[in-house]
Each structure stands twice: as structure tokens, then as C-alpha cells.
Amino acid sequence: MNILFEWFGDPANWSGADGIGQRLWEHLWYTAVTMLVASAVALPLGLWVGHTGRGRWLVTLANSARAVPTLGLLLAASLWLGPKLPGDFAYTVPSIAVLAILAVPPLLAGAYGGIDSVDGAARDAAYGVGMRGRQVLWQVEVPNALPLMLSGVRSAVLQVVATATIAAIPGLGGLGRFIIDGIALADYGQAGGGALLVAVLAVLLEGILALLQRRLVSPGLTGRAVGGSRNDDDSAGPEESADPTVDLRTSV
């Protein structure tokens, strides 16, 4: 523990081009760009597959991509793409591409699964009252798919934040630098500090996303709706206020 306190306690480690602030910023930046790229591909695709029921094999394919070894892919991509790209892009593009591949399966599965699990009767009613395809998608399917879609986003973010550390191996910045460099230099305070920062960042992001999910998802879907359960109010409707002891009913 002491070496951790020492490392965190040294002001020199906090500032500068390779300080904690800068690395944290880089890490967040890679995560954000990766999520944007992956979402731009996976979310529309997942919504399309769920809405039309076509191309389910894409979801299966993406899920099987989870088995690809990330580190191997990262090194291969860096070796292959790195020399073809100018300057910093040589490091960032392969890394972000590989991280995005990692983020696609949970995003795609969440979007597709969310749409697919929408109550069939609600979907039928949506078309039946005269909504057009896009209106059904945006007014009924997406709002009802949000819990699963956002779960997909959360697990993708967690995975990207954690895995972005290995992008330091081919030379990218981010909190992974502390871990990789710390191990290389046998500076375990630095390596442990980096690992701890990644963990704290992951927990923080998870908390923020959970709050966001609470704001975005309709209370009708989460059971947090006002007024409690449906059986707590016996004046709610005639069928519930009927006196059960009276059996003499007027026949028609």
C-alpha cells in the first residue's frame, strides 16, 4: 500500500504531458471516440435487425467476434495499419478500431434484443392505430427497448475502459501507460496506481450511466411509477370496488 500512497502523493505524477490528469483525459477521450464509432455502427444495425426481423445472423456473427483475442488483434492491426498512417494516427486508428470491434457485440445485442423483446401486442396496436414504420420504431419500439439498449451501452463502456489499457502496448497513451510502463520499470506503485485509476474510472462511468438510464427510461417500464402497485387502490375501477359478498346479481 505504501508504494501506492507514495506514487499518488508525488505531485510530479499529477501534472505534465505524462501526468495523471493528461492520461485520464486521454483514456476518456479514447473511450468516447471508440463508443461513438461503435455506436454509429452497432445501434442503427441493431435497431434495423430488431425492427425488420431481417439479418439476425449479424447479431450471431458479432457475438462470435467476442472470442477474438483483443491483444493479438491489436498488435496485428498496429503492425499492418501503423506504417500506412501518418503521425499519431499510426497508434490511435488501429487501437480505436480494435476497441470498437470489442464494443460492437454488446451494443448490437442490446439494441436488437431490446427491440425484439417489445410486447407483440403493443407493436400490433402501434401499427393498428395507424403509425407508420418509423413512428412505430421511434415512438414505441425504441422507448421500450431502452433498458436493454442502455445495458448494452453500459457493458460496452466498461469493456472499453478496461481494455483501453492494453492500447498502451503499441504505444498509445491513456491510463494503460502507467500499468505497462510501471511493470516494465518494476515500479509497482505506478503500475498499481494506474490499475486503481482504471477501476475508479470504470465505477464512476458506470454510476453516471446508471443515473442517465434512470432519467431516460420511462417509469412505466422500470416499476418505479408513481402510486405503487395496481392492487393498492380499490376505488380504481368498478370491477375492483364490487362488493364480493353480494351474490344476488340481476340477470339479463
Interacting residues toward another protein by CB under 8 A: 119, 121-132, 135, 139-140, 143-144, 217-221, 223, 225-231, 235-240, 242, 246-252
Cβ proximity to another protein, 12 vs 121, nearer residue: 121
Cell matching residue 199? 477501476
Cβ proximity to another protein, 87 vs 237, nearer residue: 237
Cβ proximity to another protein, 200 vs 221, nearer residue: 221
Cβ proximity to another protein, 34 vs 144, nearer residue: 144
Residue from 68, 213, 49 nearest 141 by CA: 49
Dihedral angle of Cα 164, 166, 168, 170, to the nearest 10 degrees: -120
How far apart are alpha carbons 23 and 21 in whole angstroms? 6
Q: How far apart are the first and last CA of the chain?
A: 83
| Encoded amino acid at 184, one letter | A
State the nearest-atom distance from the C-beta of 234 to another protein, in Å. 11
3-state SS class at 88 = coil
State the nearest-atom distance from the C-beta of 52 to another protein, in Å. 17
How far apart are alpha carbons 8 and 153 in whole angstroms? 31
State the nearest-atom distance from the C-beta of 208 to another protein, in Å. 23
State the nearest-atom distance from the C-beta of 48 to another protein, in Å. 20
Cβ proximity to another protein, 203 vs 236, nearer residue: 236
State the nearest-atom distance from the C-beta of 71 to another protein, in Å. 41
Cβ proximity to another protein, 152 vs 189, nearer residue: 152
3-state SS class at 117 = coil
How far apart are alpha carbons 243 and 238 in whole angstroms? 10
Cβ proximity to another protein, 114 vs 152, nearer residue: 114
3-state SS class at 151 = helix
Residue pair 177/18 in contact (Cβ under 8 Å)? The answer is yes
State the nearest-atom distance from the C-beta of 237 to another protein, in Å. 5
From residue 85, give the alpha-carbon distance in Å to each of 60, 89, 165: 32, 6, 22
Instruction: Write down how long the chain is.
Output: 252
State the nearest-atom distance from the C-beta of 8 to another protein, in Å. 45
